[in-house]
Amino acid sequence: MAADEYPPVNPYVAGLLGRCPRCGKGHLFRGFLALAPSCEVCGLDLAFADSGDGPAVFVMTIAGFIVVGAALYVEVAYAPPYWVHGLIFLPLTVIVCAGLLRPAKSLLIALQYFNKAEEGQRADEG
């Protein structure tokens, strides 16, 4: 099948589920964050996919709001000792960041495919 013969796939759904941005069925990852070389269903070469540091920036921002907001609430409401904050919020930080990183990465890759994003080129380089 050619690329335009596949039914349209919602990039947000495919991205958040970690599916192939072209067919919506194949898996995007072969490990926790390692991309598969190609889709096992439609054969899309995933070499184009480069999300860079974007997912980490988004995840750190979102996790920061969640964890800092919860820590401030706990501090004001209960005023526990600092070791309790460490015991609660260090694992919470790891869980929130690890839980959001994979969907964020696959969403950015799906949007990159959907919008046909590629590296910029200078006009005089042809």
Q: Is the pLDDT of residue 1 over 70?
A: no
User: pTM, whole model, 2 decimals?
Assistant: 0.86
* pLDDT for the residue 4: 67
CB burial readout 49-60, b (16+ within 10 A) else e:
bebeebbeebbe
Q: Tell me the residue type at 45.
A: D
Q: Average of pLDDT values for 12-37?
A: 95
Q: Indicate the average pLDDT of the chain.
A: 92
Q: Is the pLDDT of residue 3 over 80?
A: no
> What confidence tier does 100 reach under pLDDT thresholds 50, 70, 90?
very high
Q: Is the pLDDT of residue 94 over 60?
A: yes
Q: Average of pLDDT values for 97-121?
A: 92
Percent of the chain predicted with pLDDT > 90 = 82
CA-to-CA dists, residue 8 to 20, 57, 65, angstroms: 12, 29, 34
Rounded Cα distance, 68 and 31, in Å = 30
Q: Are 38 and 45 in contact (CB under 8 A)?
A: yes
* pLDDT for the residue 80: 97
* pLDDT for the residue 118: 80
Q: Residue written as tokens 């921002």?
A: 61
